[in-house]
A and B are shown apart, each in its own frame.
Chain A
Amino acid sequence: MTFSLWRGLAVGASLFALSAGASAADDAAGDLPLSLRLSPGQYKQIIADVFGPTISIQGRFEPEIRTDGLLAIGARSVSISDTGIERYDDMARGVAAQVIDARHRDTFVHCKPQAANAADDACAKQFISLIGRLLYRRSLNENELGTQVRVAAESAAKLHDFYAGLSTSLAEMLISPDFLFRYKRTETDASGQRRLDGYSKASVLSFFLWNSVPDDALLKAAENGSIHTQEGLQRQVDRMISSSRMEGGLRAFFSDMLGFSEFEVLAKDPTFFPRYTITVKEDSQEQTLKTIVDHVMVRRGDYRDLFTTPHTYLTRSLAALYNVPLPEKTDNGQPMHWQPYTYKEGDPRAGLLAQASFVALYSPAGRSSPTARGKALRENILCQKVPPPPGNVDFKFVQDTSNPQYKTTRDRLTAHRSEAMCAGCHKITDPIGLALENFDSAGGFRTKENGVVIDTTGELSGVKFEGPIGLAKVLHDDPAVVSCVAKRAFGFAAGRLPASQDADWPKIEAAFKDSKYNVLELMRRIALSDVVYTVPARQVAAAQK
């Protein structure tokens, strides 16, 4: 069944090679950078992990690029623009000023300068080597330390303030490439093979599992070499997965995979969707992440059941959007709380795809789009590529809402698909998207459009089904669902897709299956696999599809 669909796709893909061919060609050329620019989420997480949550970050980050379905892979191909560095500079100075302000300085600067209005190299060095090791994910060499201490000293002398000097030096470290880019450095092991050095390995691990920098224990494992032994690696991975920071990694991975960065530019027309407030927009992302964390980490559930799980969390505003009751017995004037909520069996609003983080995220501001939802589902959940629409197409039938002949979106899209040129793409997106038409552009539940009952029959991989519940069940049984999340988790760890010559890859997939598709186990298995730490002599050849 999957095969026939792919044949359909291939026809489209050859017509529209634009994005389909791009990544494969790049990988084959083997000249993609290995370094990754820190994501906005990582930047924020690092500052919180290193300096605590009271340090605020003001400013906007550079746009990210999504490659092979993940920003974590796109992070390889992005550098920093003029405008970008100006913003990083602003953020860095803001962070540094807070770190050394009167309220925080004693927490981070563990020595007292000889005079508060002059340089003190010894004290500066102590601070810089401590913080620098965390920020750069490695110990600073003498040369680097010397430079940073000198910057602090010169600045302290000019500004007559020891702490201002530290601030200048810290701000400069926060815009340096060592901080903003994650480099992979190699070394030769005892057998003469090239391998990632311990620090680089520790970084891969910590950004994968925690979406942040290694902690002291992990850096020590890098420094003493134990990270290179299977036993040492396992000890670290087990420790990290059971750490409270693991939730951050899981959230970051799914935010990336589900395309949550697009929330930044999402808005709904309040005239038509008054219940879609700013709070609801924020809450809907949190709802999904809470559902996932609960399902994966607490319930140790099967990934496939995420699409049908009746268990979720709601706030009163979200409940109003979904039209479900959520009594909250807090005093008047108290903030709303998250409450666990369980849908009764058969409720179409159960499962991940019925949440506003999917149905509203992939809809224009004014009305729903089965095509956009179907495309997002193919690309984000099934790892299948949907070609972009061609130019010079006559869209005359599509959704001419004034035409009394075509009352529902299904009617209008059916008319549009009668055009041969459009049929190829739309038949792979629309049948799944139409099954979600019970959800309006903002995620609200409905059963009618323009007075006509919405037909939510759909088809995926040749299986016909009815409505969101039917879709979720078909997804549950589609092997592409589990293979997709595995590939994306690998990509999130490695910054590339698994390739055919990655010998360990089938074992990871098998282990995932044996764990009854528990994502935590999948991440553990990936973290323990050599394949994410291999050094590409050349970039991997054709990515495994």
Chain B
Amino acid sequence: MRALDKLNRRRVLKGMLAGSAVTVGLPILDCMLDENGDAFAATGAPIPPRFATWFWGLGLGEGNWVPKTAGADYQLPVQLEPLKPFQKKMNLFSGGEVFLDGQSNGTHFTGVQGIMTGKVVGTGDYSNSIDTVVGNVIGNGTRFRSLEVACDGDPKACWSARSDNGRQPAEISPHALYARIFGPEFRDPNAAEFAPDTGVMVRRSALSAVKERREELMRDLGAADRQKLDNYFTSLRALETKLDVQLQKPEPLPACSKPGELEEEKKQVLTMATDAMERHNLFAGLFAHALACGQTRVVSSAITAGMSGLLRQGDSTNHHTYTHEEPVDATLGYQVKCAWFQSLYMQALHDFAKAMDSIQEGDKTLLDRMVVFAFTDHGAPRLHSVRNYPIITLGSANGRLKTGMHIPKPGDAATRVSYTVMQSMGVALGDWGTASNKVSTPISEVLA
């Protein structure tokens, strides 16, 4: 039975990738693009940048993953070998640190809080992650403000958060994500005919009714409840936007194609790392299509929770436990069993990039037009440290990021990488972060 399940998933996966490949083969209607291939000829609107965050748990190994040389043509460390095909399209940042400023290191949390929100606060607050900040600049007017997925079945594993308290619930089922994006509400941007849906119009106007009562609702409430209600109305606006978008004829997007449907998953929560990887690849394929079809411009993925509970077939000890227990191999300089998981995650990151890179938009690929910001919760996994973070970016942000480099910044704020990436996405912030994690200058080596 199990063997059969596997076979089906594999087949689906293969089918999915084949779907992407078909997309590559589609002739790009260059007449629709301007001479540079960077903008739509009809409107002159530039092809928008896209943004992805990609989280993996538990770092890369002790210190040995840091390449010996800086700049281009560096030797990829063994943990990153799966990314070899994309070395020219990626940057590896090493040495960055999250400064605790006297706060305790809440393992699997504080470091991410720093990298993703720019601040380290002991209250467990986690809000305004960089994907949200970027989304506010590039993501307006799309059907979904953003899409979030978690590949291990834990809807809390993804690190995207709005100004609300708490992270956004991530989709854990590719089947469900497919239905959300490409279900009956999907409007093919390249369809010749467009007629706004009466049902959507009705819903849109019904929503206005809730908004009309806003003042009445606010009247009796204290300040904190008002704030909470404000957040609700912000979300309601996002829902309105989603409906508005559905009521307008979409801009044609030659690279857009609808992927094949996916089977419903038999299991929700996963225990095997390889299963999480298969699910990840289904998500990656859906993301690529959703980005190409203009359904959203910001996506976030987590292949594991920070405290990765994933297992290797036949082994009862999970990745997280191994980071604590496994001795560092004296010769190799890292934890061998942990490295198996790390390589698998990096293979998944490769597959993610490949899904994006296989979509051609004018003279560039989707990957070229975006940045995939790959980050983790800890530097040295065995010690669960917040120093020497590996951060990887893939893609060149429509040409605004130079790529192919290793950028060592020992002792520098890891937030500087986040800040640089946000700038490449067009976020205009004079500075970002708080206390020691505050940065005001980007990494000039990579910013074009």
A interface residues, Cβ below 8 angstroms from B: 15-19, 21-22, 25-26, 31-35, 60-63, 65, 77-87, 89, 93, 143-144, 147-148, 150-151, 154-155, 158-159, 168-169, 171-172, 175-178, 180-181, 183, 185-186, 264-272, 364-367, 388-396, 398-401, 441
- Check B212 against A388 for contact (C-beta < 8 Å): no
Is B236 engaged at the interface, CB distance under 8 Å to the other chain? yes
- Check A63 against B169 for contact (C-beta < 8 Å): yes
- B152's nearest neighbour on chain A, judged by CB, is A265
Chain B neighbourhood of A26, CB < 8 A:
123
The answer for the CA separation of A121 and B286 in the assembled complex, in Å, is 45
Q: A35-B221, A79-B165 are in contact. List 15 more A-B contacts (CB 8 A).
A: A17-B122, A18-B104, A19-B124, A21-B122, A26-B123, A33-B224, A65-B165, A79-B228, A86-B144, A159-B202, A168-B203, A180-B232, A389-B384, A393-B383, A395-B325
- B316's nearest neighbour on chain A, judged by CB, is A366
- Check A364 against B309 for contact (C-beta < 8 Å): yes
- Check A272 against B316 for contact (C-beta < 8 Å): yes
Chain A neighbourhood of B206, CB < 8 A:
151, 154-155, 168-169, 171-172
- Check B316 against A269 for contact (C-beta < 8 Å): yes
For the complex of A and B, list the 8 residue pairs with the smallest distance between their C-beta atoms, beginning with the closest. A391-B105, A395-B324, A366-B316, A79-B231, A267-B269, A82-B238, A33-B224, A85-B235
Chain A neighbourhood of B441, CB < 8 A:
none
Could you jot down 10 A-B contacts, CB within 8 Å?
Answer: A35-B229, A82-B239, A172-B209, A181-B229, A264-B155, A366-B318, A367-B316, A391-B378, A391-B386, A399-B325
Chain A neighbourhood of B242, CB < 8 A:
86
- Check A392 against B224 for contact (C-beta < 8 Å): no
- Check B326 against A400 for contact (C-beta < 8 Å): yes
Q: Which of B310-365 contact A (CB under 8 A)?
A: 311, 313-318, 320-321, 323-327
The answer for the CA separation of A272 and B312 in the assembled complex, in Å, is 12
- Check B239 against A143 for contact (C-beta < 8 Å): no
| Chain B interface size range | 35 or more
The answer for the CA separation of A15 and B102 in the assembled complex, in Å, is 10
- A152's nearest neighbour on chain B, judged by CB, is B206
Given the known interface contacts A18-B104, A33-B225, A159-B198, the answer about A271 and B148 at a Cβ–Cβ threshold of 8 Å is no
- Check B224 against A31 for contact (C-beta < 8 Å): yes
The answer for the CA separation of A101 and B327 in the assembled complex, in Å, is 63
The answer, among A62, A85, A169, for a CB contact under 8 Å with B239, is A85
The answer for the CA separation of A35 and B232 in the assembled complex, in Å, is 12
Is B91 engaged at the interface, CB distance under 8 Å to the other chain? no
- Check B167 against A63 for contact (C-beta < 8 Å): yes
The answer, among A16, A35, A365, A400, for a CB contact under 8 Å with B327, is A400
- Check B235 against A80 for contact (C-beta < 8 Å): yes
Chain A neighbourhood of B167, CB < 8 A:
63
Min CB gap A125→B, angstroms: 15
Chain B neighbourhood of A150, CB < 8 A:
209
Chain A neighbourhood of B203, CB < 8 A:
93, 168, 171
The answer, among A77, A364, A390, for a CB contact under 8 Å with B165, is A77
- Check B221 against A159 for contact (C-beta < 8 Å): no
- Check B207 against A391 for contact (C-beta < 8 Å): no
- Check B228 against A35 for contact (C-beta < 8 Å): yes
- Check B124 against A22 for contact (C-beta < 8 Å): yes
B106, B156, B162, most chain A CB atoms within 10 A: B106
Chain A neighbourhood of B271, CB < 8 A:
267-270, 365-366
- Check A15 against B104 for contact (C-beta < 8 Å): yes
- Check B238 against A85 for contact (C-beta < 8 Å): yes
- A539's nearest neighbour on chain B, judged by CB, is B224
Main secondary structure of the interface of B (DSSP, over half): loop
B124, B162, B209, B212, most chain A CB atoms within 10 A: B209
- Check B168 against A82 for contact (C-beta < 8 Å): yes
The answer for the CA separation of A143 and B219 in the assembled complex, in Å, is 15
Is B153 engaged at the interface, CB distance under 8 Å to the other chain? yes
The answer for the CA separation of A366 and B323 in the assembled complex, in Å, is 15
- Number of CB contacts from chain A to chain B under 8 A: 234
Chain B neighbourhood of A159, CB < 8 A:
198-199, 202
- Check A265 against B153 for contact (C-beta < 8 Å): yes
- Check B146 against A82 for contact (C-beta < 8 Å): yes
The answer for the CA separation of A182 and B146 in the assembled complex, in Å, is 28
Given the known interface contacts A84-B169, A389-B107, the answer about A265 and B154 at a Cβ–Cβ threshold of 8 Å is yes
The answer, among A25, A143, A393, A400, for a CB contact under 8 Å with B123, is A25
Min CB gap B403→A, angstroms: 31
Min CB gap B303→A, angstroms: 15
Min CB gap A70→B, angstroms: 16
- B222's nearest neighbour on chain A, judged by CB, is A34
The answer, among B106, B162, B202, B383, for a CB contact under 8 Å with A168, is B202
- B217's nearest neighbour on chain A, judged by CB, is A177
Is B193 engaged at the interface, CB distance under 8 Å to the other chain? no
Q: Mark B106-141, 1 if CB is under 8 A from A, else 0.
A: 110010000000000011100000000000000000
Min CB gap A109→B, angstroms: 18
Chain A neighbourhood of B228, CB < 8 A:
33, 35, 79, 181
Chain B neighbourhood of A185, CB < 8 A:
220
A79, A80, A86, A365, most chain B CB atoms within 10 A: A79
Min CB gap B173→A, angstroms: 9
The answer for the CA separation of A390 and B378 in the assembled complex, in Å, is 13
Is B382 engaged at the interface, CB distance under 8 Å to the other chain? yes
- Check A265 against B156 for contact (C-beta < 8 Å): yes
The answer for the CA separation of A315 and B125 in the assembled complex, in Å, is 42
The answer, among A22, A151, A401, for a CB contact under 8 Å with B317, is A401
- Check B162 against A81 for contact (C-beta < 8 Å): yes
B105, B167, B272, B315, most chain A CB atoms within 10 A: B105
The answer for the CA separation of A266 and B153 in the assembled complex, in Å, is 9
- A59's nearest neighbour on chain B, judged by CB, is B176
The answer for the CA separation of A383 and B245 in the assembled complex, in Å, is 49
Chain B neighbourhood of A62, CB < 8 A:
166, 169
The answer for the CA separation of A79 and B122 in the assembled complex, in Å, is 21
Min CB gap A173→B, angstroms: 9
The answer, among B239, B315, B317, B382, for a CB contact under 8 Å with A89, is B239
Chain B neighbourhood of A83, CB < 8 A:
146, 148, 168-169
Chain B neighbourhood of A272, CB < 8 A:
316
- A388's nearest neighbour on chain B, judged by CB, is B106
The answer for the CA separation of A183 and B103 in the assembled complex, in Å, is 35
- Check B202 against A154 for contact (C-beta < 8 Å): yes
The answer for the CA separation of A175 and B208 in the assembled complex, in Å, is 12
Chain A neighbourhood of B406, CB < 8 A:
none
